[in-house]
Structure 1
Amino acid sequence: MLWIETVRMLSADLEEPFALEFVYRNLYELTKLDWLNLQRQEITDSERSVLTELAKRLKNNEPPQYIVGWTEFCDLRFKVDGRVLIPRPETEELVRLILSENDENECLSVLDIGTGSGAIAVALASKRKNWLIEASDLSSDALSVATENADRNAVSVHFTKSDVLSAFMERKKFDIIVSNPPYIAFSDTDEVDDSVIKYEPNSALFAENMGLAIYKKIAKEAPSVLTENGRIYLEIGYKQGQAVSQLFQKQFADKTVSVHQDIFGKDRMISVK
């Protein structure tokens, strides 16, 4: 049997038809041309066995990014595994919003709360060499992955273990606080893909109080660590625009709180400035 016949057969039941190609090519460091040339060859028993096992994992909803061990975010490559969430395209929009609204020539201090894989902090550090960037997470496992991602991308980020802002209270102040915290309400589990529920860390997905618990902590604690003209940027769930903006407007009456939409027109980000 040819490679192309085996790949077609094993991909037929997959949700994403090109997932098997993506995984195999990246595990074995094949170019697109290498892959195309392979399709015309006879497949060996060992090769078929490898493909079958990969297809089984994909059919079981294991994310391709976890299988290959990395994902792309803001044109950078990040290590990802079951200890951290896979960074999403909508979070790239949050990074772009921060970059567009803050002067690249200023030396700003930035804190990324709940950094996970380090995606936001590392992406900002790669684009703004003169910004002083710190990142925190409650998970030691996540901080280990984030530290490796900063090293892999040759950027300087200082990582701290912290429950939201507890490690920074009264210690130092930041010009920008950014966070993509857990924000899915437990009652909205049915809206989350099976692969996410099964493989990604629930502690980074779900939050108490209809998904608002971490936002409330940030709103309460941020005044102690934000500079006078400091800004806050948050990713939110598409149903949380009004609730989260009201939380921060109440806490920061002298600042403008804005809801920003993603490319699909859904509420996705909050800015406080």
Structure 2
Amino acid sequence: MANQLTYLQALRQGQAQLTSAGQDSSAAQYLLTEAHGWTFTQLVQSYRTVMPAAESQTFQQQLNRVANGEPAQYVLGRANFYGRDFQVTAATLIPRQETEELVAWILAATTPAPIRVLDVGTGSGAIAVSLKAERPAWTVTASDISAAAVAVAQTNAQTLAAPVDFVTGDLFAPVADQRFNVIVSNPPYIDRTEVDVMDESVKRYEPEGALFAANHGLAFYQRFAAELATYLLPGGQFFAEIGYHQGAAVKTIFETALPAATVTVRTDINGHDRMVRVQL
């Protein structure tokens, strides 16, 4: 017992290890609180408690992975999004706070009455499952070109009791004969010329196919603009996440392809262009 650490000692050592490795030291606290489902206050209340040996070993293994640059969410295999925990794997992006703002916009701008919704490029299913959980009357379909991502999304939908119809394929191919009131997407939008300014952990661990797009990161918006009129019902809405410097370019793409539509770009909590809505 003499060489076992208290939770406070383990936390301090973990923070020091991550700082020494050039990583965000707050991940040590995140690993501890997530392991127990604790709030920070609950962690503080346990500071003087001795950490069990098995947990100490697991914590050290997790710290080693984070120190090597792996995101803590991948280490734990889950990430919180819109108040719910989602399984994440190397096949899916880690859902981010900015995307929660996109979900909130959709919920605020759309009727709670029964409508048909499509999430294109669902990844972990974070958007589709959150929308279904918040609006049970909606019929939600989610697609992804990655069968591995769809499998993760299906698991999340089942775990969170949010029945979503999942299909596999590129863009609208799996729903070729269907139309929707709302279509949403968080597509790949990073230009490969931006690689040098990206976080190293994102480049090393997150799925490349979900990150990068051709034509300066605009390729998927160009594809959506060309096909939205076919898949949206009259009066339908399209919502998408965009890159922080893409607002003007994305607005022009949709206004040019759909001159009768109303195109709105919205900033995120940090004041950056982050979302677009196209109303037919």
TM-score (norm. length: structure 1): 0.92
Check if 1:58 corresponds to 2:62: no
User: Which residue in 1 is equivalent to 2:142?
Assistant: 135
- Which of 98, 102, 122 is the aligned partner of 2:110? 102
Deviation at 1:189, TM superposition (A): 0.9
CA contact (8 A) 2:14 2:25 kept: no
- Which of 77, 88, 91 is the aligned partner of 1:83? 91
SS at match of 1:175: strand
SS at match of 1:209: helix
Letter in 2 for 1:233: F
Deviation at 1:82, TM superposition (A): 0.9
User: Which residue in 2 is equivalent to 1:153?
Assistant: 160
Aligned length: 271
- Which of 235, 238, 242 is the aligned partner of 2:241? 235
SS at match of 1:136: strand
Letter in 2 for 1:163: D
Q: Deviations over 1:182-214 (max 9, x none)?
A: 000000012211111111101101111111111
CA contact (8 A) 1:233 1:272 kept: yes
Q: Deviations over 1:109-168 (max 9, x none)?
A: 110000000011011101111111101000000000000111111011101112011222
TM-score (norm. length: structure 2): 0.90
Check if 1:213 corresponds to 2:256: no
Identity %: 39
Check if 1:256 corresponds to 2:262: yes
SS at match of 2:217: coil
C-alpha change, 1:252 and 1:18, in structure 2 (3 Å) is same
SS at match of 1:77: strand
C-alpha change, 1:25 and 1:96, in structure 2 (3 Å) is closer
C-alpha distance in structure 2 between counterparts of 1:74 and 1:30, whole Å: 18
- Which of 135, 151, 164 is the aligned partner of 2:171? 164
- Please list every run of 5 or more consecutive structure 1 residues that lacks an aligned counterpart in the other structure: none
How big is the alpha-carbon RMSD for the aligned residues of Structure 1 and Structure 2?
A: 2.0
